[in-house]
Structure 1
């Protein structure tokens, strides 16, 4: 078997994931592009060498946005059938939805499939260039530190399921070289060149412009920034979790803010976000967050209520609770 520096990088990334203990079953989420083909090749070569995964499955979600989607599925299946592993195809029939909605539905389908089949690990084909594009998209949309590091190497989904992105340290140019070297059957997707798609405009217009007119090392500098941000974000996240566990009520949906009011503003805000996301699956906006923080410092406080997205939030006697 011919090996490359991408094989070595892939092996290094997998072995760094210390949570991976044999036997492991993995589900590989495919998009059908060069990243997917590269990931299939790397996984199959790795497993032939180390016999690390006792079960490998592939999953593809067809959005039905393109009129050649059936041909694309057939093309992808022709390649995955060269392996001895099963491939599952799901179709989304409601095609008139936003890209963010489709992405959320796609993840739900993949995770539910993993739960049903008792799969421990989900692999996705996100690469370093995807990380750059996601950063720029989230930045212009007004994200915080958590959103800037939204494509980590490992993310815990359920108590026994993890999403791992083994290509996240590999850029698009290296992946394309890899596919050509091994003559992988690339499918030309014309939607990748539609400039109505924000991600395509970042890829083909914004990033080249920044490199040409501001800094040739733009991509390297952004990745370095994201790596540093990820470390700092993880530190804040872990401390916010500890603070949330300390301040939450044992029985009711409530937190005692006397435990958090004297903490750093970053921890206070993150603890409030965690409270609402964990209990209601809602992202707390800045306006409500600022109101809650202001109420913490009002002396001789009267009972106050805030109505937000059908939630009745009450602040009284050191407690924030929701009815």
Structure 2
């Protein structure tokens, strides 16, 4: 067995998904091609299926060639493939285009996963992606949770998990695996350009740091992510306990919390409990920045405060020792 396949088995045992439908996101690049080849090689017999999903963002003249390559690879491996195409607004700034493409990609994957009855959606993020993400977040500013980097797994949709089983595998291992197989892959030339912030990190800043400052910068950032993830898990567990204890009543129209419990808790933990509530309820956190969370906690600790309106038209009102959160009807 080849080293990358063994590493993938260690990360995600084939026994766990033998009877599940797994949707594999394949761009045609080295990482996703290696993921598909390895999954096909290690899968166990069962009732589950592997399905390839590819979306053409139509951002390059040769993007249709990527789709053709992925279809041919899927046919060669006897794996069904679902291909899609989207139009991205190219008038945005480069990083805006990248964000729009990512959003379109995940919307496509979610729709196909639901359509195909997939239990898992797997992507080919590697340890190198983790390093780039961490450095990007550090430079732009992030929380302790952000320092934990790309999560290995998260809920993607009801009953569907998004999984990144190659997150501990380096890109050099991917390239060695494909070379050993003699497997071709597509190269996205836009990754060599420095129009995108992330590309500048990959092509300019990280090589500079490795050569002139800290040769082991990648390992240092990965250790930071591991430590931050341990911290995040602990804080999340504490926040869940606080939220469960503080939640007095919950319905589709309103959530009532014990303001005394929240006010008595450490402000950081109380904020994390509120963030967890927002996540559970599916309320938008896009505009709930630091100042909004501080305003909510100030309301919790105030005497007879006026109600406040939070992003997403969430009305927060304190009555006696109760905090009422009311979403729009």
Please say whether Structure 1 and Structure 2 have the same fold, judged by a TM-score greater than 0.5. yes
Match of 1:271 in 2: 273
What per-residue deviation string (whole Å, max 9, x for no partner) do you get for residues 44-82 of structure 1?
1102xx325721100011110001111121122221210
Q: Which runs of 5+ in 1 are unaligned?
A: none
Match of 2:9 in 1: 11
What per-residue deviation string (whole Å, max 9, x for no partner) do you get for residues 182-206 of structure 1?
1111222211111011111111111
- The equivalent position to 2:31 in structure 1, one of 9, 31, 35, is 35
Match of 2:325 in 1: 321
Within-5 A mapping of 1:13-162 = 13-15=11-13, 20=16, 22-47=18-43, 50-51=44-45, 54-96=48-90, 98=96, 99-162=98-161
Give the alignment's TM-score, normalised by structure 2: 0.89
Match of 1:171 in 2: 170
Match of 1:250 in 2: 250
Match of 1:302 in 2: 305
1:285 deviates by: 0.9
1:293 deviates by: 1.7
Change (3 A) 1:31 1:21: closer
Change (3 A) 1:104 1:148: farther
What per-residue deviation string (whole Å, max 9, x for no partner) do you get for residues 301-321 of structure 1?
233324545443323323142
1:212 deviates by: 1.8
1:138 deviates by: 1.9
Change (3 A) 1:158 1:188: closer
1:239/1:267 contact within 8 Å kept: yes
Distance in 2 separating the partners of 1:214 and 1:118: 48
Q: Helix, strand or coil: the match of 1:113?
A: helix
1:226 deviates by: 0.5
Distance in 1 separating the partners of 2:62 and 2:79: 25
Distance in 1 separating the partners of 2:47 and 2:177: 23
Distance in 1 separating the partners of 2:47 and 2:225: 30
- Superposed CA RMSD: 2.1
Match of 2:263 in 1: 261
Q: Helix, strand or coil: the match of 2:174?
A: helix
> Which shows bigger deviation, 244-253 or 260-269?
244-253
Change (3 A) 1:260 1:313: closer
What per-residue deviation string (whole Å, max 9, x for no partner) do you get for residues 217-252 of structure 1?
110111011111111101211222232233232332
Change (3 A) 1:95 1:77: farther
Aligned length: 316
2:29/2:186 contact within 8 Å kept: yes
2:55/2:67 contact within 8 Å kept: no
Change (3 A) 1:53 1:28: farther
Match of 1:224 in 2: 223
